[in-house]
Chain A
Amino acid sequence: MTEAAKSSFPARAVLLAGVAWLLPASGHLLLGKRLRALGFAVCILLAFGLGIRLSGNLYRPVSGQPLSYLATVGAMGVGAPYYVARYALGYQGTAEAPGYEYGTIFLLSAGLMNLLLVLDVWDIASGRKEDE
């Protein structure tokens, strides 16, 4: 464990992880990993955009369906794009669309990929992970 990991409360790591969740790849950008941040942003936003383009399901909690809560957490992992699509644009997805199943997978994957980035930012910022 590095010196940074020994400090009491990792306020910087919490802040960076929060920003990383809200804006995909922004955590790596703030950590100075510009090229990697660009690559991550392209991957996540392209997956999210394709999911929307294919009219996939942007999960929301459905009472009586416990798995929908889990899927919603995964989809919300993409941060601001989820809320913009859901609440600002009123996006819901179209179950009858030919690309619905594929679109759902793209949307869910975008959220899960961003959650992995949040964990990575947390590890780097709190000193748990050595990163050049």
Chain B
Amino acid sequence: MSHLVLMTAYAALVGVFFALLWRRGRGEQAKLFLQIFLGMMIGAILLGWLMYPFPTGPAAPIP
């Protein structure tokens, strides 16, 4: 599975879990789910994009 699929699955699972745990009522749950899901997805993509110019460099030595 690709990184994007796994990231999406993780964000969806966490979003559903906290929406069910912290909110009552379908509307409120859907709203929190979208906030968490989109926050994680957009945040991760944005962070990856911001890190893109940084050189990867050599692999760190294993202690």
**A109 in contact with B10 (CB, 8 Å):** yes
Binding site secondary structure of chain A: helix
Indicate if the CB atoms of B17 and A113 lie closer than 8 Å: yes
Mask: chain B, 26-58; 1 = CB below 8 Å from A; 0 = not: 000000000000000000000000000000000
Report how far A36 CA is from B16 CA in the complex, Å: 10
Asked if B10 contacts A40 (CB within 8 A), the reply is no
- Contact indicator per residue, chain B 1-42, by CB within 8 Å of chain A (1) or not (0): 101001001100110110011001000000000000000000
B13–A40 CB distance below 8 A: no
Residues of A within 8 A of B16 (CB): 39, 42-43
Could you tell me which A residues sit within 8 Å of B by CB distance?
36, 39-40, 42-44, 46-47, 50, 54, 99, 102, 105-106, 109, 113, 116-117, 120, 132
User: What are some 8 contacts across the A-B interface (CB < 8 A)?
Assistant: A39-B17, A40-B17, A40-B21, A43-B17, A54-B1, A109-B13, A109-B14, A113-B17
